Structure 1
Amino acid sequence: MINWLYRVSALSMLCLGLQVQALETQQIDKLTEQRLAAAGIAGETSPALPGPQRRSDGGIPVFGESLFQGAFRDQPFSGFNPSYRITIGDKINLQLWGAYSFSASLPVDPQGNIFIPEVGPVHVAGVENGALNEFVLRHVKRVFKSNVSAYANLEASQPVKVFVTGNVVRPGLYNGYSSDSVLYYLDSAGGIERESGSYIDIRVLRQGEMLQRVDLYQFLVTGKMPALQLRNGDSIVVGARQGHITIEGDVQQSAQIEFLGQSTSLSEMLMVAKPKPRANYARITQIIDDQQQASYLPLDQAVQATLYPGAHIELVSDSDISSISVRVKGEVEGPAAYVLPYGATLADLIDRIRYRDNADPFAIQLYRKSVAEQQKVALNRSLDALEMEALTRQPVTSSDKSSLKDSAAMIQKFISKARKAQPRGQVVLANNDRAGEMLLEDGDELVVPLRASTVSVVGEVVFPTSLVFDEANTLEDYIEMAGGFSNNADTEELVVLHLDGTISRIKERKFNNRLRGTLRAGDEIMIMPKIQAGELQVTKDITEILYRIAVGTAAVLSF
């Protein structure tokens, strides 16, 4: 194992030494580019669309970026819905016939009126388009009581100039009509900046006051767009990009999706990026408290997961897993989680790791959820057997009855504590030259420990502590430095748990030996409790369980 790890470590260091950092091509200052573009725009022309911009996050598109390809800019809105309200500058076609004939296109003047000969000014500003004809006819009938009919309809809405600014490609002043949507003006300005602009924080201002906040996700997902009638001098301001997550895999559309606030949930994000029917698992990688964390959850559990800005989610089918996530902790540099191809080996992972100067690559530790689960099952099986043994023992004499009752109560208390033990699931890599060929599983955790210089003495001693390792010291020396055995200690045998997951059981006759090669820096000397169960078989069962807990959890459970 040591030779294999040394070869892998040396290869990794050689690769690092050969890496040459290439100078990246200098990018044009984006702010300067925007200012230059804005200086050349007066809203009277339609500048050419910009060239393609580099996408972040591996080329996954920003949700909504396909909106602004010129379709809205090239198709101004010329129709009028019934709820449109007449405003200053609109033009109204009016026809009168019968006893009096008249036909003209009448502008709505600054007072909000149209002037009809023989009738006079009629105030139409604010009247809904659907009610315009009836409104005008009612005023005509006040003068012409009979034999005159009228027909009025909106010919054209008011031409306006609207400022578009903030995080858009070409800020400027753009021509349009008061009936044109926010999408028309944003498209005219080249669209929202892919890397910096927000699709959910767009504000429409009138004389510096908020008129409407627009969330384009509502339009993209449900088709809803607020009905706005813009005026000369209104401003459309695109805010800075909010927190976002990246979602890909078995979804209808892989995308970077924005959200408001400090966090969101996967269920909210899936309302935007619809999952495919076969998706049933989610792989989530994100930074929490400055630590990169990875998890792999069934989709019905993952939808409740809290997501933070920068989170990466991959939806998969459990029959089509193409990658796994492995956490790496300890004395390493680089990411805390690695996404590897399905079928990757331990050697594949170690090839990517960069060790810190104080790391001990020969004592790497691998922890696996499935192993922890198997250890827990085995522990519970042993506890079930012990419980059955304790509860079914029959007293031989009447004097045994009280003794058995006390013994059963003590064992039940022990079992209750033992069931709370959580095995770590360590996979022992030592003494195996082919450990590098082992396939990794999703959720594995690799720990590269610090080069150790101490040993720990835990369990049934007076002062459990860590002590500086000295090859000249014996087990007896370390126990004495920890205050000696406690009254409940098993003084006939102890366990030494090594960093690599292997164990040594040392008999009393060797306590005073130096044990070179057996006792190493980083070891835990575990003093087990003395068992006083009153029956040989029960004592044996409890001892086995205590050793299993000690090795599986790196902790001594008192009896």
Structure 2
Amino acid sequence: MATLLTHTGRVLILLISWAIAAGAWSLDTQQLDKEHQQIELGDHLPAFGESLFKGAFKDQPFRGFNGGYRVTVGDQIALQLWGAYSFNAVLTVDAQGNIFIPEVGPVHVAGVENGDLNNFVLRHVKRVFKNNVQAYANLEASQPVKVFVTGYVKSPGLYPGFSSDSVLYYLDSAGGISRESGSFIDIKVLRQGKELQRINLYNFLVDGRMPALQLRNGDSIVVGARQGFISIEGAVQESGQIEFIGPTTQLGEMLMVAKPDPQANYARITQVIDDEQQASYIPLQEALLAPLHPGAHVELVSDSDISSISVRVNGEVDGPAAYVLPYGATLQDLLDKLRYRDNADPFAIQLYRKSVAKKQKVALERSLDALEMEALTRQPTTTSDKASLKDTAAMIQNFITKARKARPRGQVVLANNDNAGDMLLEDGDELVVPLRASTVSVVGEVIFPTSLVFNERNTLEDYIELAGGFSNNADTKELVVLHMDGTISRIKQSKFDNRLKGVLRPGDEIMVMPKIQASELQVTKDVTEILYRIAVGTAAVLSF
């Protein structure tokens, strides 16, 4: 971001032609026709960062201190001495950087970090009072200061505050940076005419970084003239006019500020170079390194009309591992291209999708956040409850830590839907054609998790016994059966000894969930929901 931003350029547009072809891009160069109406692209967009200055900083002066704050002239220090000698007063750091302690004399504290102040003062006291005197020193108030704010701000002037207040406080007090003429990336702090610090507010807006400064009486904050800029809008998270330093910049650098939407795949760029207007429409990956001149206008586009998608295919099929299909292709379009092997099970095809996995992960995180809030905010009513809640909270935190590591597969359930073939495919989908299964897996809270040869005569109870039986932590009231096609069956205890013909099938996973031992009913319900969500989404049973 070191090269961000330049002076206001007026881009005139008369006619923009785009020649679009799949996998190719064209560049149209047109002479400006000064007789046509002038259109200023991007002029309607705000300057990136102008929303900073709406009173949120000037209305909240900062009088506090952190451990790294250095004592300066005018600060007030509360000092207490006790023991063989008593003293209690608020002392002001004088012009020489000293405080005067009776019987001890002047102690130079200017420049001492707040975190070291108490020990620093105590060492000086001990030089006089060898024994039986203790000291406690604490910063009471920072020095009131007046700082000049000038340059391209709305209301230049001298503004009061405290030495601990940030540069943003003083800029906001001056009405903020002028949108038309002020720079957000070229701000200088001067002390006695010499540059103390140069500030780029984009570092604060994007990364939250702001230099820690202690301002003094008479310091100046000078906002420089606006640098060159480009305007950017469309499929971005933050539209606006973005400054940069230098004769040109690159789109990739500007997008560190504007942040493109995930679906953005093309860039429409209009700019004037050597008095000649140029318009281009190119794939985003190629546009990232394209040079942009001051005044350029960029629109990111999610252009699905000319894009294609790629779908991976794994399992019992002959042919390529990935298929490139036109945008808008359906599942049936892909299935028509597949050549199944003899042992394939085309009726148990599995489809995994990144967008579904992402939604599953978001839903899981929300449930975990709610559980964490519930566990941490419960209040004990008795002393015994306090110990119990502490143990439960620790157990839940351990469970949440493990649960956050779960990675949903994003399986799209295709079974029991006659219209599944009409479903549109997405770029990055993965299709798995499984081997015709002959086993049943038993996982979770059993003695020996294993895979067993499927036998239609066996009941769920038989399979559990073949896996060594339930573990001590098993929930024996209900079992979850995860079928290969992504559907699930929840079987109650009363049916464990039934053969369940048609329900239990080859390739199924019998999941034995853990028993939830929590004193609170709501916690039990929440944890149970999360365990089932993880089991279905990841095909794994998480212990509790």
**TM-score normalised by the chain length of structure 2:** 0.48
Tell me the TM-score normalized by structure 1: 0.47
Higher share of residues assigned helix: 1
User: Which of 1 and 2 has greater Rg?
Assistant: 1
